[in-house]
């Protein structure tokens, strides 16, 4: 089902691009074949298609272990990558191009890519699962996941002989459970029949994008995969420095405009500074546009909640689109932050959570980020229960950090900025 879904998305994106090219050519050149009207356009057209193919491949890889979903952020990534490839080709070769044609093609392609994803979200693919676990809460999380069809939840120590299940069913076994003889024989027979048997934890992570914290022992589940990301860690920062520097022509002028609007909206400085905890527990000064009234934390720091009365009018708008975090790109240049990673917390909260929440400090194994997996998947946490749930997403990122996961998070973050929708 996973491979079929990814192929379906890729074919639909390619068909959307073809339709975009044909319709745009009719509107701009009065012919469905643009190279007949303008022979010199073939190079920029080829770059658009190659960029789309490569962008689609990277988008498919960015699903990593997570269950692939028809997210709008990936449409942003594919179309954006194709346009960037085309722009680079035009600059490098001085090839002919038509702004109306490329602009119309991109708009139609993006609109169709969003549309077919919207349709697919109404009828998501599902994987039939039989769970062997005593963790009812975790089984409930899987039941609520969008791509699972839970056929049965078996008691590991039970004595009832399970029934027959349809072809394609995956048996997800909790390896920390003590199995009864009957359950062990059923699992063995299921496996001998050539039917898929998987780890319950792996299935849980794939479909929820979270680490089941109740299953962690001494943290070895995090340490071993994290140690395997050393090569990517060496290249991640140089790549981010290049990206932030190249996009400075966009975010610097936008930051200046926002700074003026913040000052006009309410009295006080435009930039808010606060001590946060970074990699390995080291403190640094985080910068962001002030979104609250002055002296909002005069009575001590507290979590931001939905409808917080301390937020200014401009602050509400900036937080919706996450542009209040633009000054943190300076933190990226300084080395305090990465573009992607667990969001840094205040020292007071970190010290408190470290005492009461197991494995909380494991989120500091990687450099914190301007955006992160927990932000695009869960959003703000305003109490301890929500913080534990958010931590399960952060630890998933620590365990599975990769360029593909980072690209997925950046795509979702860009969609949030453009649309104002999505986890914050």
Per-residue pLDDT tens digits for 89-147: 888 888 777 889 899 999 999 999 999 988 887 777 788 999 999 999 999 999 998 88
Identify the residue with better confidence: 242 or 57. 242
Residues 175 and 280 in one domain: no
- Is residue 217 a part of any domain in this protein? no
Which of the four pLDDT bands, split at 50, 70 and 90, describes residue 286?
A: very high
Residues 306 and 404 in one domain: yes
Q: Best-predicted range by mean pLDDT among 155-164, 173-182, 222-231, 269-278?
A: 269-278
Which residues, in sequence order, are CB contacts of 253 under 8 Å at separation 6+? none
Q: Which helix (H) or strand (E) holds 341?
A: none
Which of the four pLDDT bands, split at 50, 70 and 90, describes residue 220?
A: very low
Residues 187 and 236 in one domain: no
Q: What's the sign of the alpha-carbon dihedral 378, 384, 385, 389?
A: positive
Question: In whole angstroms, what is the distance from residue 169 CA to residue 147 CA?
Answer: 13
- Give me the pLDDT at residue 160, please: 77
Counted domains in the chain = 3
Q: Residue 366: which domain range?
A: 230-419
**Degrees to nearest 5, angle at CA 72 with 66 and 75:** 95
- Is residue 330 a part of any domain in this protein? yes
- Is residue 214 a part of any domain in this protein? no
Decide if pLDDT at 2 tops 70: no
Residues 272 and 376 in one domain: yes
- Give me the pLDDT at residue 295, please: 75
Residues 156 and 289 in one domain: no
Residues 170 and 50 in one domain: no
Which of the four pLDDT bands, split at 50, 70 and 90, describes residue 18?
A: very high
Identify the residue with better confidence: 385 or 333. 333
Pairing of strands 283-289, 271-277: antiparallel
CA of residue 114 relative to chain centroid, distance:
17
Question: Is this structure's pTM higher than 0.85?
Answer: no
- Is residue 215 a part of any domain in this protein? no
CA proximity to 75, closest of 147, 20, 34: 20
Per-residue pLDDT tens digits for 143-184 = 998 889 999 999 998 887 777 888 889 999 998 888 999 899
Question: Domain ends where: 102, 122, 142?
Answer: 122
- Is residue 221 a part of any domain in this protein? no
- Is residue 193 a part of any domain in this protein? yes
Average per-residue pLDDT in the chain? Answer: 85
Which of the four pLDDT bands, split at 50, 70 and 90, describes residue 197?
A: very high
Question: In whole angstroms, what is the distance from residue 151 CA to residue 126 CA?
Answer: 12
Give the pLDDT mean for 208-229: 65
Contact criterion met (CB below 8 Å) for 179 and 103: no
Residues 318 and 285 in one domain: yes
Identify the residue with better confidence: 260 or 38. 260
Give the pLDDT mean for 289-315: 77
Give exposure, 377-416, as e/b (b: 16+ Cβ within 10 Å): bbebbeeeeebbebbbbbbbbbbbbbbbbbbbbbbbbbbb
């Amino acid at each position: 089902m996973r491979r079929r879904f990814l192929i379906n998305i890729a074919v639909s994106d390619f068909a959307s691009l073809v339709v975009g090219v044909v319709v745009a050519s009719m509107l701009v050149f009065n012919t469905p074949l643009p190279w007949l009207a303008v022979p010199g356009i073939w190079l920029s057209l080829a770059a658009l298609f190659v960029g789309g193919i490569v962008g689609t491949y990277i988008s498919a890889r960015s699903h990593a272990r997570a269950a692939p979903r028809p997210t709008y952020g990936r449409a942003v990534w594919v179309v954006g990558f194709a346009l960037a490839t085309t722009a680079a080709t035009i600059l490098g070769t001085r090839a002919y191009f038509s702004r109306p044609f490329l602009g119309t093609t991109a708009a139609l392609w993006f609109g169709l890519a969003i549309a077919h994803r919207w349709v697919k979200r109404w009828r998501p693919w599902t994987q039939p699962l039989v769970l062997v676990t005593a963790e009812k809460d975790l089984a409930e999380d899987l039941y609520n996941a969008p791509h699972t069809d839970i056929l049965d939840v078996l008691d590991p120590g039970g004595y009832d002989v399970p029934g027959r299940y349809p072809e394609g069913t995956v048996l997800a076994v909790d390896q920390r459970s003590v199995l009864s003889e009957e359950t062990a024989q059923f699992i063995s027979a299921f496996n001998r029949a050539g039917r898929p048997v998987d780890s319950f934890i792996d299935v849980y992570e794939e479909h929820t994008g979270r680490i089941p914290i109740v299953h962690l022992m001494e943290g070895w589940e995090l340490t071993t995969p994290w140690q395997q990301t050393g090569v990517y860690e060496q290249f991640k920062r140089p790549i981010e420095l290049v990206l932030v520097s190249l996009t400075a022509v966009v975010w610097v002028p936008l930051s200046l405009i926002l700074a003026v609007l913040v000052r006009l909206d309410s009295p006080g400085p435009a930039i808010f500074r606060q001590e946060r905890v970074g990699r390995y527990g080291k403190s640094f000064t985080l910068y962001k546009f002030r979104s609250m009234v002055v002296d909002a934390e005069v009575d001590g720091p507290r979590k931001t909640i939905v409808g917080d009365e301390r937020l200014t009018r401009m602050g509400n708008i900036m937080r919706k689109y996450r542009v209040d975090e633009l000054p943190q790109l300076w933190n990226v240049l300084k080395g305090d932050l990465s573009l992607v990673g667990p969001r840094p917390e205040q020292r007071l909260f970190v010290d408190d959570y470290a005492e009461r929440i197991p494995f909380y400090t494991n989120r500091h194994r990687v450099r914190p980020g301007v955006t992160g997996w927990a932000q695009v998947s869960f959003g703000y946490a305003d109490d301890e229960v929500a913080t534990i749930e958010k931590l399960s997403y952060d630890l998933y990122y620590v365990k599975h950090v990769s360029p593909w996961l980072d690209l997925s998070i950046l795509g979702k973050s860009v969609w949030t900025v453009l649309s104002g929708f999505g986890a914050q």
